[in-house]
Amino acid sequence: MQIALSIRNLSKEYTNFGGSHRVVSNLTLSVPRGEVFGFLGPNGAGKTTTIKMIVGLAFPTRGTIEIFGEPSNTRTVRARVGFMSENPYFYSYLTAQEFMLFSASLLNLSSIIAHERTASLLNMVGLSGAADQQIRTFSKGMNQRLGFAQALLGDPEIVFLDEPLDGLDPLGRVDFKRMIQALKKEGKTIFFNSHILSDVQELCDSIGIIHKGKLVESGPLTRILKGRESLEEHFIRVVGAKK
Residues 207 to 226: which contact another protein by CB under 8 A?
A: none
83, 159 in Cβ contact below 8 A?
A: yes
Residue 85 sits in the site that holds another protein (CB under 8 A): yes
Cβ proximity to another protein: between 58 and 119 the closer is 58
Residue 13 sits in the site that holds another protein (CB under 8 A): no
The 10 Å CB-count burial string (b at 16+, else e) for 180-199 is beebbeeebbbbbbbebbeb
Enumerate the β-bridge partners of residue 162: 193
Q: Among the candidate windows 3-11, 37-45, 92-100, 164-172, which touches another protein by CB under 8 A?
A: 92-100
Q: What are phi and psi of 137, to 5 degrees?
A: -90, 0
Nearest approach, Cβ of residue 128 and another protein (Å): 20
Which of 102, 119, 201, 238 touches another protein by CB under 8 A? 102
d(CA 135, CA 127): 11
d(CA 177, CA 161): 12
Residue 78 sits in the site that holds another protein (CB under 8 A): yes
Which of 97, 150, 189, 206 touches another protein by CB under 8 A? 150
Which of 23, 29, 67, 81 touches another protein by CB under 8 A? 81
Q: Among the candidate windows 33-41, 63-71, 95-103, 203-211, which touches another protein by CB under 8 A?
A: 95-103
Alpha helix (H) residue ranges in the chain:
47-55, 75-78, 96-106, 111-124, 140-151, 170-185, 197-203, 221-225, 231-242
d(CA 118, CA 183): 17
Residues in the interface with another protein (CB under 8 A) total 31
Residue 113 sits in the site that holds another protein (CB under 8 A): no
**What is the contact mask toward another protein in residues 116 to 135, using x (rule: CB under 8 A)?**
--------------------
User: 136: closest CA among 102, 172, 93, 107?
Assistant: 93
The site for another protein (CB under 8 A) is made up of: 52, 55-59, 75-76, 78-79, 81, 83, 85, 87-94, 98, 102-103, 105-108, 147, 150, 154
